[in-house]
Structure 1
Amino acid sequence: MIEQLIELDQQLFLSINKGLANQFFDFLMPLLRNPYTWAPLYLFFIIFAIRNYKKKGIIMILLLLVTFGLGDYTSASIIKPEVMRVRPCNDVPFKEQVTTRVRCGSGYSMPSSHATNHFAIGIFILMLFRRQWKPIVWLSLLWAASISFAQIYVGVHYPGDILVGALLGTAIGLFTSWLFFFIQSKAQRSET
């Protein structure tokens, strides 16, 4: 059963990594996964939160950092060393079939920290603003999914790594957004 799942994961990987290859994606996908591409968005969110929500905005930013830290630590330092799945671009019998479009990296593959972190942040933001601004739901999910998809296209993660990272990130984002609302309700009760 495990062998069949691995084979399916590899076939799906190749259908994205090789089957969807084109010049536009070759340009776009490395940009999507680059953290510097998104630096203006992160800066905008920090300014927006503090300017519009004051003290509440500072709590948003602090919990956003907690969300990122929790996602990154859990995926990279707890789960990856236990699972020890090799990246497709480093998998000795498989890597000959992989088109690597960025530096491969030496770390393990399962789960994708990019997927974990971006789904955690995306879900956190989605939960905070979904009532005030409806488009945040599909924008945050599209943002996290496109960065995660890019990980497969450039050759550094299997689809299974992305799926596990997305599920882990979603759980973390839900937890930290719950924590934010819990803190807010406590603060409101203490003010009354």
Structure 2
Amino acid sequence: MDKLKSLDHSLFFELNSWHSPFWDTVMTFISNKYVWFPFYALLILLLIYFYKKRGALMVLALAASVGLADFVSSGIFKPFFERLRPCHEGVIGMTVRVVDGCGGRYGFVSSHAANSFAIAVFLCMILPARQRWLKVLLLVWAFMISYSRIYLGVHYPGDITVGAAIGCLTAWLGIYIYRTIEKRYSFWTT
């Protein structure tokens, strides 16, 4: 466990050290959850427009996936593990380059990573195979949001990795629920 923690710290310091005024602005923008609200609204509208009732069911299942990812990361993991964010951690906190404030006290796991990966993976699993470019774009988006949290000094790579894994699992669960309801109730397919 000590080796993992040491690796996590070393990787964090390496990734957190790559700074410039330009990237400070970009990463702060990417990490701001409110910036993405128009994207989420457009996503909801497009799913419903192209898939009608099935799209509404997709939106509900996606919302359940993200809600569960957020609850597990913020409501269960953070209070249970109480792992301090790098910027709150004693000596480490004095050497971390924090760009836009530190955030809450605990950082394990990253809700940003969990939520963005829940969205990206859910959509990658639900969209047709011919939409490869969109799937790649969604995964790059989730990775960028996740990396921005390390860049800004508020999460260790381990926080991000486990958060992304939680997002992937809740996306899979959302897809399972979506497909089960779709098969069982013909209302969603007519």
TM-score (norm 2): 0.94
Cα-to-partner distance string for 1:122-143 (whole Å, 9 max, x where unaligned):
1111111042412232112111
**What does 1:1-192 align with in structure 2 at a 5 Å threshold?**
2-18=1-17, 20-188=18-186
Q: Which ranges of structure 1 fall in alignment gaps of 5 or more residues?
A: none
Instruction: Letter of the 1:8 partner, please give it.
Output: L
Give the paired residue count. Answer: 190
Distance in 2 (alpha carbons) for counterparts of 1:111 and 1:80: 6
Deviations 1:142-176 (A, max 9, x none): 11110000000000000010001011111111111
Instruction: Check the 8 A contact 1:49/1:58 in 2, yes or no.
Output: yes
Give, in whole Å, the separation in 2 of the partners of 1:47 and 1:189. 20
Letter matched to residue 74 of structure 2: A
Higher helix share: 2
| Cα deviation digits, residues 97-133 of structure 1 (max 9, x gap) | 1011112122311110110111011111111104241
Contact 1:130 1:137 in 2 (8 A): no
Q: Measure the CA separation in 1 of the matches of 2:46 and 2:36.
A: 15
After superposition, give the CA deviation of every residue in 1:1-41 in whole Å (9 maximum; x if it has no partner).
x22211211111111111x1122211100110111221221
Tell me which stretches of 4 or more aligned residues in structure 1 moved more than 6 Å: 189-192
Q: TM-score, normalization: structure 1?
A: 0.93
Q: What letter matches 2:100 in structure 1?
A: V
Partners of 1:184 and 1:131 lie apart in 2 by 19
Compute the displacement of 1:188 (Å). 4.0
